[in-house]
Structure 1
């Protein structure tokens, strides 16, 4: 009975040995191939010399083993030692060399990336350099003093002593701040405003100093101080960048496209100035991740780089009051809210009255009162508000989710009545403008070299005009609505400390509805258009601060479903530091845009906000396309700064209805382009607490309409010469700024009186934009003072005066035939008269 049991045991033992022998005698592989397989599976990198593994072959370890198990297996099968550095780098050396080797890695202290060709000087006058992985080694002595250095980094001295060889040194070198890197960091125009390497302007509202006429860091008011950026009618809803119309600019708030940018129909920005953390403004050379724009990009982000402490503030000025609060729910999450509302429901300040007179001049509302001089009565109600909500949550060490919501609304109600020849006439006008938006963002940092960000967003805009005329028993409704939805994916890959690549995909759907409804006589028209676009983006950036070369290039490939059309948009940014003080930059871009604002009739929406959004139909309303090139010279030495930029820009596919003509082209519908070239110059000098700057802009801007009798003439938005100056004084908590702005008048079209019969006048014009308005000139002042109590409560008082000299500046002029006098009238619109403002803010 024992024999069979012993036999079964020996039989099993035999097959076990046979099986182990079969494993040992499996397929033998070169040692290098085994290491490559381990590198790919475990995302590690081996450091070795070729002579260590020359001709070596063995059976590979099982794939199911862990990294440490595989290294143990290899150590048993070879005469080699394996040192695992953070599951990222693995050093290989002979076992007998172990007591005689000291090794190390050199990394950047900020980016934690390997530094290649770092110099390691030993006290024995021996020198070694690091490889591409930052690795070095040398023979061990009783004590070694190391001097580690690399150009662009602060040198370091280390005493190795009798450290064990199995522990490779990990050395961090901190970047050395040089004058070359500081050239972009200094204030431009005011503290809190800087110019980046990619030529964008960056505004940090929390660090903002002061500018003439501004007591708050209003994003859209501030950007008008930048050379090449203007608003011909003083409106933040009509910002012209290098000759472009306002709708050709892309305005983003935390990734949400905003179709309404102004309160009070353009005199106040809808973006709460006490909220934004960073505002980036691109006149040219914008990233390929920005689409749907043929002019500038204004990207506003209210997400801080790190979680900040709890805070609360509240303020009031002569137009509105606001509150802001931020509360940390935990170490990894916080909530942030802001709200702002006009105070016009309670009080009519001098500032409000000046704004009201400016906005409603030469509209159907003032026309009503001008045509009546008997028993005229009017009741006006106006108000606006905006609110934002942000919720941010970090999940683990790699993920973050952010939710942003924004709501904006302006509401105007005007009731007017009059009795003329015993006949009662009255009108009840309602004008509402609002924009809602939301964005859900997820960001994941896979490792130090790769990140992914996904945005899902929505933006909804509505402009509604409702007019009821009791005497004629008529109701007229006009409505313009926009719905914009989309999703974007962005991946960022850091290849080396100097080179990175980004790629992504964007889907965008925009639907625009225009409604017109009239009773007595009855009329109804409703048109809705939808466009869906897909975009693939690829972008690469090379930045070597040591050699002074910055290069960024990208391509955006758009596909429009409805037209089955591809549009390729390359972008380029190239910068070179000629010296520590002088930079040369070349920027270029091709861009396109599928939506635009047009004016059907100048009296639409009571003539107040008469523009409506439409989408391209690829025929009578073409896709707008632009190309732009600019060359910039930036000089900074000591307290002097000189910035000179020459540019060329052409935009194709514009329509006459998008340009706001009030001459013979008002009812002409044709397409064409505008072409602009010019120069922008900024000179700045800082002296202790005093900063002064002078800017000059020259623009030569022409329309080209090949199917019109005058194929070429000056652009409506041309300001051929613009000159600005500011003097700013900042010391401790007191700031004051005085400045002036001067520009040649915008073009206008005069009537041809030689061809007009004054007894029965019909308007006949000269060539479009054949002359100009008078020169625009304005002097502005602002000042703020801040103080803090012992309890940590901070107070801030601000005072500003626009147009101190109360100059009557004409900003537009057109002609019409008066039905009352049967004569030609010259209708002029003027800028703000002297307008004071006072603000007070408390912060905890």
Structure 2
């Protein structure tokens, strides 16, 4: 027994001296030396005061530790705090000065919330960073308020925070009577509302394939049945309708121009246009003057009163924006973009120009066996400003203005001569509005707005051979007033009612000097509209019934437009949605191929006259079933749409009906499918649309045939991945080709002219369209208040030469014999772009 006790004592002594030897072997090293070693090993940089770490010694951390593990070790063995500013820079401060922090995460999709406002009585207002992290210096029990658009305001105290940045979840707003956000789809910033609409928030937007900036009218094409048959946003088709059948609003003002570069770029700056609502069906009764979709845009949120801004450029334009708090009650925002063509013509510009100017006068290089040298000068800009004035706790005034300009100058010179002529085209849109919101009580509010929009297109076409000068002009002036009243009778029921007046004047001018010809047409139409809607919501059921009555004083005609929305939750995962609407519009766009603007801009706004151009009416219904669980979203929606009163001159026929003026209709039956899987960092989706879109013209033979915009199948497969400050996205879009009419032969007419004999209208189809796109984004912190963002994108990665249109013309060969010439319009080729922005 004694021997056993002695053995145990001996073993304990040996173990003690073994550990003592180890401890003595771990000699301490100056902290400055350790930090220098970590800087070289991990390519980082420490920022600290020399006096702070002077003389401090630590045991050298093991080389097997990662950077995070090494920093945690140093944090434990010293009285210092190692704060990661970004991937490269780390600041070293005393633990007693360490600020408290937290990370804001969305309860809905577990994604960080960047741009939230955190403020309190003893806390300076701060903004959460791209990872949702914020820092404050506070030790009091005073309340701290956290606000983020679309989420419930959260009030906490400093006790909820720590130096380890605990997670704080924000809950989406659950105001029962508003269009509540219910699903984030595809990528962050695109959501489905419970009134059937889609909401796009450019301020918190993720990434879509092919995008270097949040081009609003490109983003909406991610939604099923929102597409462009020719890749331009000036030809945006929603469920088979033309672009002119869409109501595009900027701050409740109708836009008559929505693009730059003749439709390749949206004219709405995403730096100031923050929220977009898209209605494909079941639009609220407050919206009129459209028979297809509604795209309503609004500017930045007035609640964020901090000074902020940014500037940058891509390979097409430069941009800058500012948000300036003039006082506690007044805030102003400015944003502008300007093309870079005056400085440099980039490869991206060359690709865009080749796409837009093909098959136009600008691409004609020979005439009458003479060589023509053409020089193109093209530029554009847009400028927008918004002023928010919080007059009182109950009154808010908002003033908006937007200017859009496109200028094209084409100089023709006959080679080896001094003969030169200049043709030009100018396109502009100027809008302005002022609104007053007042909260009369907690259940009663009003909204009054006055607005004006002015659109002008001027073209001067100089013929270098005949000295003929053709002047063409299209002008739209629209002014109006809107007044609304909202009353909430209970938590379950509320009413919205209002009055909308517009006066629209549209003129078209054509003036030719040889032979002398002048034509001037002007129409003015005043429309008085009253509307009302009631919304009822109880537990899992939401119903909205509305009606709009439009009185066209010129025709003494009233059109009633009922609207309907029903949303029913069948279970915690299944939802059924039924939408319906009747709508009308008095404006449309005539397409004149024989008298266009330099071969580029072929459309002119016109007004209904109820004789040759009737008021267009539509009716639409859709039924949707939606399933959502464990990050999966599955949605299928069937729809039916019929539009009456369309003019053949607005459809862009390039066959036997090109010069025929007739009135008809089209109807669309289709199905939309969305499959979306989301995880914390990854979102992948598949969207599919099937639709049959047919014309019906009684005066044509045959009377029924496929619509010019009849795209039967459209599939998009895409994915978006986010990791900290890095994002990538890629996707492929495939669709069937649009119909065209095949030319068969040439016939001699009685008047000595020749014309083409065509096959059955739209009996043939173009080849299938396919395009693969890619984009990437990286954000890094330059300083505490400044960051930089770089985006890269590649459109049509495979450089697929998709045919967008095919038409035919009669061409005489060298022997004077006539033959049919096939003219094809092709898509954008491979198109790289890069964007760099500095944000503060």
Instruction: Please state which band the TM-score falls in when normalised by the shorter chain.
Output: 0.7 to 0.9
In the alignment, is residue 572 of structure 1 matched against residue 545 of structure 2? no
Q: Judge conservation of contact 2:180–2:193 (CA < 8 Å) in 1.
A: no
In the alignment, is residue 230 of structure 1 matched against residue 227 of structure 2? yes
Using a 3 Å threshold, how does the CA distance of structure 1 residues 453 and 183 change in structure 2: closer, same or farther? closer
Q: 1:248 aligns with which of 245, 249, 252?
A: 245
Match of 1:330 in 2: 327
In the alignment, is residue 771 of structure 1 matched against residue 767 of structure 2? no
Instruction: Determine helix, strand or coil for the equivalent of 1:348.
Output: coil
Q: 2:479 aligns with which of 485, 490, 493?
A: 485
Q: 1:589 aligns with which of 572, 581, 590?
A: 581
Find the aligned partners of 1:694 and 1:467 in 2 and give their Cα distance.
46
Instruction: Determine helix, strand or coil for the equivalent of 1:237.
Output: helix
TM-score by length of 2: 0.77
Measured after TM superposition, the shift of residue 182 of structure 1 is 13
Q: Judge conservation of contact 2:272–2:300 (CA < 8 Å) in 1.
A: no
Q: Judge conservation of contact 1:425–1:469 (CA < 8 Å) in 2.
A: no
Q: Judge conservation of contact 1:504–1:537 (CA < 8 Å) in 2.
A: yes
> Deviations along 1:627-676, whole A, 9 cap, x unmatched?
00000111110111011110000000001110011111110110000000
Instruction: Determine helix, strand or coil for the equivalent of 2:349.
Output: helix
Q: Judge conservation of contact 1:317–1:837 (CA < 8 Å) in 2.
A: yes
Q: 2:382 aligns with which of 386, 398, 414?
A: 386
Using a 3 Å threshold, how does the CA distance of structure 1 residues 331 and 178 change in structure 2: closer, same or farther? closer
Measured after TM superposition, the shift of residue 277 of structure 1 is 2.0
Q: Judge conservation of contact 2:365–2:371 (CA < 8 Å) in 1.
A: no
Measured after TM superposition, the shift of residue 211 of structure 1 is 0.4
Instruction: Determine helix, strand or coil for the equivalent of 1:622.
Output: coil
Measured after TM superposition, the shift of residue 683 of structure 1 is 0.2
Find the aligned partners of 2:467 and 2:452 in 1 and give their Cα distance.
39
Aligned positions of 1:205-284 closer than 5 A:
205-284=202-281
Aligned positions of 1:85-164 closer than 5 A:
none
Match of 1:192 in 2: 189
Q: 1:510 aligns with which of 485, 504, 508?
A: 504
Q: 2:804 aligns with which of 795, 805, 811?
A: 811
Match of 2:427 in 1: 433
Q: 1:621 aligns with which of 604, 613, 616?
A: 613
Match of 2:28 in 1: none
Measured after TM superposition, the shift of residue 753 of structure 1 is 3.9
Q: Judge conservation of contact 1:427–1:467 (CA < 8 Å) in 2.
A: no
Which ranges of structure 2 fall in alignment gaps of 5 or more residues? Answer: 1-151, 153-170
> Deviations along 1:126-159, whole A, 9 cap, x unmatched?
xxxxxxxxxxxxxxxxxxxxxxxxxxx9xxxxxx
Instruction: Determine helix, strand or coil for the equivalent of 1:222.
Output: helix
Which ranges of structure 1 fall in alignment gaps of 5 or more residues? Answer: 1-152, 154-173
Measured after TM superposition, the shift of residue 343 of structure 1 is 0.3
Find the aligned partners of 2:430 and 2:713 in 1 and give their Cα distance.
38
Q: Judge conservation of contact 2:406–2:427 (CA < 8 Å) in 1.
A: yes
Find the aligned partners of 1:425 and 1:712 in 2 and give their Cα distance.
51
Measured after TM superposition, the shift of residue 820 of structure 1 is 4.8
Match of 1:13 in 2: none
Find the aligned partners of 1:176 and 1:395 in 2 and give their Cα distance.
26
Q: How many residues align?
A: 665
Q: 1:741 aligns with which of 710, 723, 733?
A: 733
Find the aligned partners of 2:368 and 2:725 in 1 and give their Cα distance.
53
Match of 2:353 in 1: 356
Find the aligned partners of 1:386 and 1:178 in 2 and give their Cα distance.
36
Measured after TM superposition, the shift of residue 373 of structure 1 is 6.3
Find the aligned partners of 1:473 and 1:711 in 2 and give their Cα distance.
43
> Deviations along 1:388-421, whole A, 9 cap, x unmatched?
11111111211111110110000000011225xx
Q: 1:780 aligns with which of 747, 756, 773?
A: 773
Instruction: Determine helix, strand or coil for the equivalent of 1:353.
Output: helix
TM-score by length of 1: 0.77
Instruction: Determine helix, strand or coil for the equivalent of 1:604.
Output: coil
Instruction: Determine helix, strand or coil for the equivalent of 2:188.
Output: coil
Match of 2:830 in 1: 834
Find the aligned partners of 1:722 and 1:581 in 2 and give their Cα distance.
27
Q: Judge conservation of contact 1:285–1:573 (CA < 8 Å) in 2.
A: yes
Instruction: Determine helix, strand or coil for the equivalent of 1:752.
Output: strand
Q: 1:798 aligns with which of 791, 796, 811?
A: 791
Instruction: Determine helix, strand or coil for the equivalent of 1:358.
Output: helix
Using a 3 Å threshold, how does the CA distance of structure 1 residues 618 and 471 change in structure 2: closer, same or farther? same
Find the aligned partners of 2:771 and 2:614 in 1 and give their Cα distance.
38
Aligned positions of 1:401-800 closer than 5 A:
401-419=397-415, 426-544=420-538, 546=539, 548-753=540-745, 762-800=755-793
Instruction: Determine helix, strand or coil for the equivalent of 2:273.
Output: coil
Measured after TM superposition, the shift of residue 216 of structure 1 is 1.5
Q: Judge conservation of contact 1:417–1:426 (CA < 8 Å) in 2.
A: yes
Measured after TM superposition, the shift of residue 433 of structure 1 is 0.4
Using a 3 Å threshold, how does the CA distance of structure 1 residues 177 and 229 change in structure 2: closer, same or farther? closer
Using a 3 Å threshold, how does the CA distance of structure 1 residues 514 and 636 change in structure 2: closer, same or farther? same
Instruction: Determine helix, strand or coil for the equivalent of 1:485.
Output: strand
Measured after TM superposition, the shift of residue 204 of structure 1 is 0.5
> Deviations along 1:413-464, whole A, 9 cap, x unmatched?
0011225xx9876442100100000001011100100000001000000011
> Deviations along 1:39-85, whole A, 9 cap, x unmatched?
xxxxxxxxxxxxxxxxxxxxxxxxxxxxxxxxxxxxxxxxxxxxxxx
